[in-house]
Amino acid sequence: MSEQAKPNGFDIYEVFSQRTPTSSFVHQFSLLAPNHEVAMSMARENFLRRDSVVNIWVVKRDDIYVCPPEEREFLERLDNKAYRETKGYGDLQSKWRAHRERYEAEHSNNQ
Amino acid sequence: MIAQTHDEKLAAFLEKIDNGGKIEADDWMPDDYRTQLIKLISMHGMSEIMGALPEKEWVPKAPTLRRKLAIMAKVQDEMGHGQLLLRVAEDLMAPLGKTREDMLNDLFTGRLKFHNVFHMEAPTWADAGVIGWLVDGAAIITQTMSLDTSYAPYSRALHRICAEEKFHAQHGESIVLALAEGTEQQRRMLQDAVTRWWPALLMFFGPPEGGKISSNQQMNMRYKIRSQTNEELRQVFFDKYVPRIFHLGLTLPDPTIRYDEAAGQWIYQQPDWDEFKQIVSGHGPRSVQRLDLRKLSYQQAQWVRDALLNNTQQAI
Amino acid sequence: MNTDQKALQELLFQLADDDFILAYRGSEWLGLAPHIEEDVAFSSMSQDTMGHAVMFYEMLEELGAGTADDLAQLRKPQDFRNAVLVERPNGTGHYMEQPNYDWAYAVARTYLYELFKWVRLEALMSSSYQPLVQISRKMMTELRYHLMHWQTWTKHLAGGGQESRDRLQAAIAQVCQDIEGLFSFGPHADAIVAAGLIADASTLKARWLEKASDALAKNGLALPDAFPAPSHDGRAGEHTEQLADVLNTLSEVYRLDPAAAW
Ligand SMILES: [Fe+2]
Ligand SMILES: [Fe+2]
């Protein structure tokens, strides 16, 4: 975006934060700042006053390539992908149980 | 991409929101949807920022160290709510070439209004308590109603805001309960504040519809920006707070107020709606003084904003 | 009270009062800062600073000096031990009426004070009084953010064009008029140092000079060559009239009935 398009000059920065070293970054909100450094100096207090965080990202919104609105419908998927998920394998538990019970039954008969 | 006519886009938009779908800033939206949102959210945002001023008067004066810290945090949150809402409004007005600066100028020239309650005086510490308890209480009711708004960025801001409002309400209740359980002088201070704030609290929800719902409200409901009328919200407020006010042994400056079992609603004395119009158009007891404060601080900081911009240009 | 106890209390009052009064000055800025996002950030730091004051007042309370609230709100101006720098107003006017506040002064004062506070807390890490050692470590974690924040502002005002740079340089000069007052431990200085509570004032000053000169030099700024003797020695209870105004405001409600529960 060019300077002329922003009479106020400040840019929009998106703020992300990470709660623990093993958690993913989560988007919080956006703020106006003249540059990354100032954005960072205000980020935590604006959006994370009551949260503990171990790291923060500030990203200039102009640098984010957003999926265009008219293409977001392509993000939808048919609900026919059970083979990718654990719910597609719901029969395993009962099969294992049957095998164990048969095994145990055979072994107790042998005694 | 299949080209769509305006009517087709509008039909798709309405179908989406009717099915509980949410609109994002970069989605297509009807012009009047955008206009209504800008009006509503910029007014809400500026009200948060102007609302910081009456309470701020009591920040240094709060009676104990703990209260001083708590009210500082509370007023800070209100500025933070203003920040969130202005950001949402700014994204909506960006396609129109408008910015935060324009909103502030609209506030200074009176084109952009702020809530009636923030034009009022807060002459005692009990006022700070009553603001936290009842003004924030009223705000929670309207904001909770809007959580499910069709405009997703507004909803996201409101979710953050409502989480903090729970703290605000408890902060207010705590101050009020200490006064109610306190000395004669403290109780009197509290009663005076409740009496003083009552008409403004009724006005907060806006005029009743008198059978016909105003066109703005109607449009906002059609667009699923809001889901309840002014009067419905006011009744929710009565349900929650009138009994509590009485439980503390306090009185209201309305001898007629009562719950009508048959009608299933509260009967009460209307505030002076002409006065309401006067107040929100900048003729309230503290309108001018508070706007002057905001204006002065804005003008004085011009050099700071210029300096920040100078830096950006040099850095690149 | 023996000399050591007196020395400890004097030092605690200096620590508590410095933070308390500066946090008050910060709270006057609430809603008036130059940028909304900054308003929110600045308020967090004022809260941190007041929070630190409360911790020091509570230490005094444990030592039997009175309740924290009484100590903060009922003492007379001459009983306050803060340096005069922190009581100086933010500008002319009142926080509710015509506040002609100077952001450059806010940045310069807060930054130079917090650098001093860092040096002082560092020195307290080897205090003979254990509770001070523990509390200092905690406070330094919050202070890190403050220093980063004010360093960013200093950099941006210094690099923000001629007007901004001039204003900042003038504000630094103004702050330095009062800076010497920070490096006084007052009439009980000898006892404070002898008890091993903290390193002596000249050591603190040397460390601060190094830190502050570095911080400013990074931005092409400099401290003046010499600092005038303080107009009032706050550590000895000498204060400007402004402190009386501050205390009247701070205690306006509490004084209505200090025995009541608020
Ligand atoms: Fe709010
Ligand atoms: Fe609130």
Fill in the amino acid letter for C206. Answer: A
Q: What are the tens digits of pLDDT across the range C33-92? A: 999 999 999 999 999 999 999 999 999 999 999 999 999 999 999 999 999 999 999 999
Read off the pLDDT of residues A43-69 as tens digits, 9 standing for 90 and up.
999 999 999 999 999 999 999 999 999
- Can you tell me the distance from the alpha carbon of B89 to that of B177, in angstroms, rounded to the nearest whole number? 37
Which residues neighbour ligand 2 (ion) by CB within 5 Å?
Answer: B 136, 168
Q: Is B288 on the interface with C (CB under 8 A)?
A: no
3 state DSSP class of C185: coil
Q: What is the mean pLDDT of residues B78-107?
A: 97
Alpha-carbon torsion, ordered C165, C169, C175, C176, to 10 deg? 160
What are the C-alpha distances in Å from A71 to residues A76, B2, B18, B245, C156? Answer: 10, 12, 21, 54, 41
A93, part of any domain: no
- At A6 the pLDDT is 52
Nearest to C119 by CA among C15, C194, C227, C31: C15
Please report which confidence band the pLDDT of residue B213 belongs to, taking 50, 70 and 90 as the band edges.
Answer: low
Residue whose structure tokens are 């903290």: C198
| C219 neighbourhood in chain A, CB within 8 Å | none
Distance from residue B20's CA to the centre of ligand 2 (Å): 28
Q: For residue B11, how far is the Cα from the chain centroid?
A: 32
Q: Cβ atoms within 10 A of the Cβ of B195, count?
A: 15
Q: How far apart are CA B175 and CA B7, in angstroms?
A: 54
> What band does A87 get if pLDDT is binned at 50, 70 and 90?
confident
Given CATH 1.20.1260.10, say whether it is the number of domain C3-256: yes
| ipTM of the complex, rounded to two decimals | 0.97
pLDDT band at B311 (very low <50, low <70, confident <90, very high): confident
Question: What does DSSP assign to residue B213?
Answer: -
Residue B264 — φ and ψ, nearest 5°?
70, 30
According to the model, what pLDDT value does residue A3 have?
38
B138 touches chain C (CB under 8 A): no
**Sign of CA pseudo-dihedral B235, B238, B241, B244:** negative
Evaluate if residue B313 carries a pLDDT over 70. no
Q: What is the mean pLDDT of chain C?
A: 97
pLDDT score of C174 more than 80: yes
pLDDT of residue C95: 92
Touching B: which chains, 3+ CB pairs < 8 A?
Answer: A, C
Place of tokens 């104990």: B64
Q: What is the spatial distance between Cα C262 and Cα C253, in angstroms, rounded to a whole number? A: 9
Give the mean model confidence (pLDDT) for residues C107-132: 98
d(CA B67, CA B171) in angstroms, rounded, equals 9
B314 closest CB neighbour out of C33, C53, C159: C159
Signed CA dihedral, B81, B84, B86, B88: sign only: negative
**Average of per-residue pLDDT across B208-222:** 74
**pLDDT for the residue A29:** 98
| Shortest CA gap B61–chain A (Å) | 23
Distance CA C114, CA A26 (A): 32
Residue B314 pLDDT exceeds 80: no
Asked if C76 contacts C70 with a C-beta cutoff of 8 angstroms, the reply is no
Cβ(B175)–Cβ(B132) below 8 Å:
yes
Q: Which of B122, B138, B53, B129 is nearest to B285 (CA)?
A: B122
- pLDDT over 50 at C251, yes or no: yes
Question: Residue B1 — very low, low, confident or very high, per pLDDT cuts 50/70/90?
Answer: low
Grade residue C151 by pLDDT with cuts at 50, 70 and 90.
very high
Overall average pLDDT of the B150-166 stretch:
96
Q: What is the pLDDT of residue B171?
A: 96
Total number of residues shown for chain A: 111
CA atoms within 13 A of residue C220's CA, in its CB half-sphere: 10
| pLDDT number for residue B217 | 81
Q: How far is CA C55 from CA A91, B149, C44, C131, C186, in A?
A: 61, 44, 16, 11, 22
Pair of tokens at residue C110: 């807060």
State how far the Cα of C221 lies from the Cα of C170, in Å rounded to an integer.
11
Q: Calculate how close chain C gets to A95, using CA atoms only, in Å.
A: 56
| Amino acid letter, B108 | F
Q: What angle is formed at CA B170 by the lines to CA B166 and CA B173, rounded to 5 degrees?
A: 140
Angle formed at CA C224 by CA C219 and CA C225, multiple of 5 degrees: 125
Domain spanning B6-315, CATH class: mainly alpha
The predicted structure's pLDDT at residue A82: 87
Q: Residues B270-276: what's their mean pLDDT?
A: 95
Residue A62 included in any domain? yes
Contact predicate C11/C186, CB 8 Å:
no
Judge contact between B200 and B268, C-beta under 8 A. Answer: no
Give the CA-trace dihedral at B109, B201, B285, B179, to 10 degrees: -130
Q: Does A42 touch chain C (CB under 8 A)?
A: yes
Instruction: Convert the pLDDT of each residue in B6-59 to its tens digit.
Output: 999 999 999 999 999 999 999 999 999 999 999 999 999 999 999 999 999 999
Closest CA–CA distance from residue A5 to any residue of chain B (Å):
8
Whether the Cβ atoms of residue C230 and residue C181 lie closer than 8 Å to each other: yes
Here the CATH number for the domain that contains residue A19 is 3.10.20.520
Tell me the C-alpha to C-alpha distance, in Å, between residue B252 and each of B120, B130, B174, B188, B201.
18, 13, 20, 13, 12
Report which bound ligand comes closest to the CA of B167: 2
Q: Any idea which residue has 């450094």 for tokens?
A: A37
SS3 assignment, position B150: coil
Ligand 1: centre distance to CA A92 (Å): 52
The total number of residues written for chain B in this structure: 316
Contact status, residue B60 vs residue C24, Cβ threshold 8 Å: yes
Using the Cβ of B77 and the Cβ atoms of chain A, whether some distance falls under 8 Å is answered with yes
Rg of chain B in Å (alpha carbons): 21
- State how far residue C196 is from chain A, nearest Cα, in angstroms: 36
Contact assessment for residue B239 and residue B137, using Cβ atoms and an 8 Å cutoff: no
As given in the structure block, the two tokens for residue A92 are 């395993």
Whole-number Å distance between alpha carbons of B287 and B290: 5
Would you give the DSSP letter of residue C198?
Answer: S
Q: Which of these ranges, B40-49, B204-213, B228-237, has the smallest mean pLDDT?
A: B204-213
Q: How far is CA B130 from CA A2, B183, B196, B254, in A?
A: 48, 17, 10, 17
For residue B240, the SS3 value is helix
Q: Indicate if the alpha-carbon torsion angle B171, B173, B178, B182 is positive or negative.
A: positive
Distance CA C86, CA C182 (A): 9
Q: How many beta-carbon pairs below 8 A join chains B and C?
A: 146
**Residue A2, pLDDT above cutoff 50:** no
- Structural Rg of chain A based on CA atoms: 26
Mean predicted lDDT score pLDDT of chain A: 90
For range C211-215, the mean pLDDT: 97
Beta bridge partners of A32: A12
Interchain CB contact of A48 with C (< 8 Å): no
Number of domain units in chain A: 1
Q: Label residue C33 exposed, middle or buried (CB < 10 Å: 0-12, 13-18, 19+).
A: buried
For residue B209, what is the DSSP state?
A: -
Residue B112: CB atoms within 10 A of its CB come to 20
pLDDT band at A9; cut points 50, 70, 90: confident
Predicted confidence band of residue B316 (pLDDT cuts 50, 70, 90) = very low
- pLDDT of B211 strictly over 90: no
**Chain centroid offset of residue B213 CA:** 21
At B78, which amino acid appears? E
